Amino acid sequence: MSKFYDFGRFSEMTEEKIKADKELFLRLLVNMCVFLYFPLTLDGIENKEVYLNILLRKGKNINKVDLDFFLRPTGISYNYLNKEEKEQFKKLYMSYENIKIFTLNYQKKYIENCKNSLPSKISKCFEDICFIIYCHVYGNPKIDIKIFIRNIRDYFILDKKKDSFENLRKKVVFDEIRSNMLIQYPQLKKEYLGKNTTMEKLLRYVNDDNDYNYKILRDILDKNIQKEDEDKDDERIKLKEK
């Protein structure tokens, strides 16, 4: 079973997928209520969803750890929601349909904000919904170009958390974006991170997550440096000829 609700984000919904989504929702809702009422049994209760919502309304405030645990399978980080969004979420009647609507609306708005706030050269990345989920669940969803360069590196180039997304994402879309980011990454890094290559190569021995500790990154960065050097040599030759 997937770690994430489908909600039609990964592929066309079928009765089987809807059933799996709803089973996941009920299981997570029960888990959240167990934190408030332990032990909790639902034996003999016909409408479990209604009963669990009554318990939530009667219970004490649910802490943010429990709320984040409940939301993570939607692909959203509760901790990143702003104050208004958190209040909106906590006031929801917890049904599968309401969680689906909240999730899809939030992700649509988030993608729009990313496209409006970040350089257009990375806008293609937001066509992969799994990338958005990765940023919230495993990376950092703060809308900042420096942070997104790291997210792009980890998700598209290094393919971290491959096991979580390989069967969910649209492979053609992922492969196309990955190919593009492999070309763009050296320039993105230079333009927005301003890394000193010599220093970075030295720091690889004390920083496990250094780019130069990953062969694929080391290769594309060194190849880009070589190309820049060759371009400079060509330019010097042209100037001499003049």
pLDDT tens per residue across span 19-53: 999 999 988 888 888 766 766 677 666 678 888 88
Q: How confident is the model at residue 67 (pLDDT cuts 50, 70, 90)?
A: confident
pLDDT given for residue 88 in this prediction: 92
Token pair recorded at residue 242: 């003049």
pLDDT given for residue 51 in this prediction: 80
Residue 239 has pLDDT above 60, yes or no: no
pLDDT tens per residue across span 149-165: 999 999 999 999 999 99
Of 207 and 137, the one with more pLDDT: 137
Q: What ranges in the chain are assigned the alpha helix state H?
A: 15-34, 48-58, 64-71, 83-90, 96-117, 129-137, 145-152, 162-165, 171-188, 197-203, 215-241
pLDDT tens per residue across span 73-116: 999 999 999 999 998 998 889 899 999 999 999 999 999 999 99
Distance between CA atoms of residues 122 and 119, nearest Å: 6
pLDDT given for residue 43 in this prediction: 65
Q: How far apart are the first and last CA of the chain?
A: 67
Q: Report yes or no: 105 and 79 within 8 Å, Cβ to Cβ.
A: no
| Sequence letter at residue 51 | Y
Distance between CA atoms of residues 54 and 50, nearest Å: 6
pLDDT more than 90, % of the chain: 59
Distance between CA atoms of residues 117 and 110, nearest Å: 10
pLDDT tens per residue across span 162-179: 999 999 999 999 999 999
pLDDT given for residue 204 in this prediction: 76
Q: Dihedral (C-alpha) 210, 216, 221, 226: value to the nearest 10 degrees?
A: 140
* Burial class of residue 130, CB neighbours in 10 A (0-12, 13-18, 19+): buried
